[in-house]
Structures are given as structure tokens and as C-alpha cells.
Amino acid sequence: MSEGVSLLGSMYAAVRALQIYPPGNDAVLGAIAECDELAKAVCTAEGGLSIWTAGHHLYVNDLRIRLDLSDYATVAAFRELIETHGIGRITVDPGVRSEDWTVFLGLLAPARTEETDAPARLLEIQEQLAQAEVTHITLAPPLPLFETGEAESSAARRTYAVSVNALKDLMSNPVMGAAIAGRRAERTVLGIVDQVLADKMSMLGMLTLRDYDDHTYVHSVNVAILSVALGEFVGFDHQQLFELGFAALFHDIGKVFIANNLLNKKGWLNDEEWRQMAQHPDFGFLMLFNVSGFPEPPYRAMIAVYEHHMKVDLSGYPRVIRRRRQGLFAKIIAIVESYDAAISEFNKEFVPASPHDVIRQLRQAEEGTYDPVLVKAFINLMGLYPVGTLVILDTGELAVVVSRSTEPDALGFPIVRLISDPTGKRLGDGPIVDLMHPDPRPGAPQRSIARSADPRRYGIKVSDFVA
Ligand SMILES: [Fe+2]
Ligand SMILES: [Fe+2]
């Protein structure tokens, strides 16, 4: 998207001009006008605009800006510039005015060095934007998931970052009746489907990247990944995977109408709070009536969104009077979404369960909650020790599961990465061992899993070894 590069170029030019000239100067006005025009063009074409960083990369909406030699200096300089101001994400809505650009870009003009406190600087800028009543440009810090700064992230990581970001945009317009940008949604879902089909284990590994600040978006992307993986496992074709992925990605979109303090509440909900929370499937259903760019509303997804908390025996919500059957998509989403919720750190107080324990709980769930055939399929897909589980081997070594076994029946014998020796000494990036196929040489260790363990007790971040 050369428009994206041009936009970044004009933003950077405007900042440079503002470093030298007062805001009324022709060079400044010209750069601001260009910037305003390009931003509006992108907003109209894509239903919104966000410029964001992931590691060393810069994205405009879903597209990573490819650096030609001619643009390299500008784009790299722009990325560094916003980074020194603590900005990881600039969201622009279609109502943006040229005055907004002048104020915002003016705030980026003072030279800064990287050592100064970037998060504090971001707060300062946000305050100044609020004072100047700039509401069409909003800023956020870098996504904590992706601040690792690797030069080249894996394809799975890239798809994951793009999806979380897209969902953030797609879910950030909480006006009933506002259209959801269908094209962008479609692109996001296809990205997930294709990446799951290309490399399922890497995508499942992304689930170890936990982030409670963006919980709803991360959860939605995780549920889409898991649903598509399970859909493929039970034999869905590409079109069905797309529809399922779409439903899964938006299963909780109705939550945009639930107050944040309720969504983030720690502990139990009272009756009234519960009643409000339980409305999100109805809201989601209604919202999906209004997806732009599709010839007709995504009916199958709408039904799945409506039914995802219904349970197979209909004892969940929304309550239904007439006898019906929970649909296949909703049954899949119900299983994978409770899996993701249980392993996630959605707030600082909640203790996430080990993936292994959650698999066990799913197996023992009360009859009528989940479809037992699909639960079985899900366990076959994930194995008893899903990717990201920290395990203690019978040799005393610690290991992290990096992949399900390649053998269909070897549910309890995944492929692991060793991370400590039997005395507990850390190995860093230790060797990968297939527990189903031990080293055949005489005297080589025969390893099996003794039990799963809580990574926080050992001070281990499993994502370091998986994602
Ligand atoms: Fe939900
Ligand atoms: Fe959910």
C-alpha cells in the first residue's frame, strides 16, 4: 500500500517542518494538508486507520510497510520518532480534522532521546491532546505482546499481531448500528485460516502469549485460532473454516456494549451485573446484521454468536423457550472458548490453570455442557498436554510442550523442549525431544511426563520457548 508509505512520509515531513517553522508556515500547512487528505482516503477505503508498531515493523492497518530503499530512512525515522514518545499505536477515525493533525504532530516535534521515560511522555501527550479537544486521534503504548523487538518475527507471530490489532479496530466502534468493516474482517479471518492450515502448531503456540490488558481481543483471536484448528480436525472445508473462523472471531463482539468496569471486574458478579453480562450474545447477534461489504448478513455466524453460551442442554443463556439444538459452530466455540478463558490471565488476580488441567476439566465437564464428541475431538487435537504446558519429566527435567505428537494415538507423549537438567539447572534453549520416539541408543534416557506444573512457580515464561 503505497498510500500508507505516503501517509507516513507526510506525517514525518510535517513533524520536521514543525521543528523549524511556526504552525502557520506554508511548508507546515502543505504537509498537514497532504497528511489529512491521505489519512481520510485510507479511513474511507478501510473503515478506519491505525498505524502501529510490532517489534521493528510498522503497520498501517493490516499491512506491514515494506521498506524500499527510497522510503527506508523516512519510515524508520518515523517509527523511531513515535517510539521515543512512547507511542505504539495511533488510531485515527474518519472525523479527523486538519487542526487535529497540527496539534498532534506538533506534540511530536520536540526532540527526544530514547533514554527518557517514554510511558510518561505518552501520558503527557495524551493529556495535551485531551486539553486541545483532539478526539479523533487516539494513542496507545506498544502492544506488550510484541515489544520483543525481534528483527524478523515468524509468520505465525505476524498473523497473530495483525489479527489482534485488526480486532481492536473492528471492536472499537461501540455504536449500535455502525457498520463493521466486512472487508477487513474477512481479510483477518482468512489470514488466520491460512496460517492455521499452513502451520497449526505455531499458531497454537501463540496462545501462550498472554496479555490481560487486551484480553477481549486476544481471547477472540485465540478462539478463532482454536475453532479453525478444531474445524479442520473434524474435516471442514475452506469455506466452512472461514465461516466458523468469522463466527469465532466475533463471538464476543457484543461485549463492546458492556461497561469496562464490569468486564474487568474481579471476583463474582451480582445478579444485576450477571444479567448485563449475559446480554452480550444478543448484542453480538444484532451487531452482525450490520457488516459492510457482504451481500447479506453473515447468518451462520450470527446464530453461532447468539448460541455460544447456550450449552447443549440449553441450560445456559440466552434462555430459550422453544426446543432447539445448539448449532455446530456454537458447540465448537463453546468448547474452545472455555479452554482459552481457563488458561488465560484475564486479570491480575485470576490464577490461570495449566492447559493440561483444563483438558482434564473439559473431559469431566457436567453432562449437557458440551458436545461429548467434539470434546473428544478437541482433546485429540490438543493432546493431553497442549502446547505451552510446563511439564516435569520422570527424569526430574523440566520441559515445555512445543507440539502435539505426530502419532494420532500418542496423546500423553508430546514433543517437548527441555529447559532444565535433572538438578534444576536451566538450559536456555534446550534440545527438542519427541517423547514418543526416544533416543534408541543403549543407555539413552527414556523420558515420560510425571506431571504438569505451574510456570509461575518456577519463574518461567513458557512463551519464550514456544511462540
Ligand atoms: Fe461470550
Ligand atoms: Fe468468549
168: three-class secondary structure by DSSP = helix
* Residue among 335, 314, 316, 309 nearest 324 (CA): 314
What's the CA angle centered on 51, arms 103 and 118, to 5 degrees? 65
Q: To the nearest whole percent, how much of the chain has pLDDT over 90?
A: 45
CA distance 135 to 128: 11
Q: To the nearest whole percent, how much of the chain has pLDDT over 70?
A: 93
Ligand nearest to the Cα of 341, by number: 2
Is the pLDDT score of 302 beyond 50? yes
Q: How far away, in angstroms, is 230 Cα from ligand 1 center?
A: 18
Give the model confidence (pLDDT) of 404-462 as tens digits.
888 888 889 999 999 998 888 888 778 888 898 877 777 777 899 999 998 888 888 88
290 pLDDT band, cuts 50/70/90, is confident
Is the pLDDT score of 56 beyond 80? no
Give the model confidence (pLDDT) of 100-132 as tens digits.
999 999 999 887 766 678 888 999 999 999 999
What's the CA angle centered on 225, arms 219 and 231, to 5 degrees? 130
Residue 458: per-residue pLDDT: 86
Residue 165: per-residue pLDDT: 86
Query: Looking at residues 342-366, what average pLDDT do you find?
Result: 82
Is the pLDDT score of 150 beyond 60? no
Bridge partner list, 140? 89
69 vs 412, more confident:
412
Residue 69: per-residue pLDDT: 61
Give the model confidence (pLDDT) of 363-415 as tens digits.
999 899 999 999 999 999 999 999 999 999 999 999 999 888 888 888 899 99
Question: And the C-alpha cell for 244?
Answer: 466458523
- Does residue 278 contact residue 245 with C-beta atoms inside 8 Å? no
Ligand nearest to the Cα of 309, by number: 1
Query: Looking at residues 332-352, what average pLDDT do you find?
Result: 83
Ligand nearest to the Cα of 249, by number: 2
Query: Looking at residues 182-205, what average pLDDT do you find?
Result: 92
CA distance 310 to 318: 6
Question: Which amino acid does the sequence have at 429?
Answer: D
Chain-centroid distance of CA 104 in Å reads 28
CA distance 119 to 199: 36
Question: And the C-alpha cell for 299?
Answer: 447468518
> Look-up: residue for cell 492450515?
197
Ligand nearest to the Cα of 277, by number: 1
Question: And the C-alpha cell for 96?
Answer: 479527523
334: three-class secondary structure by DSSP = helix
Q: How far away, in angstroms, is 217 Cα from ligand 2 center?
A: 10
Q: How far away, in angstroms, is 274 Cα from ligand 2 center?
A: 15
Q: How far away, in angstroms, is 337 Cα from ligand 2 center?
A: 5
Task: Give the H/E segment covering residue 92.
Answer: strand 89-92
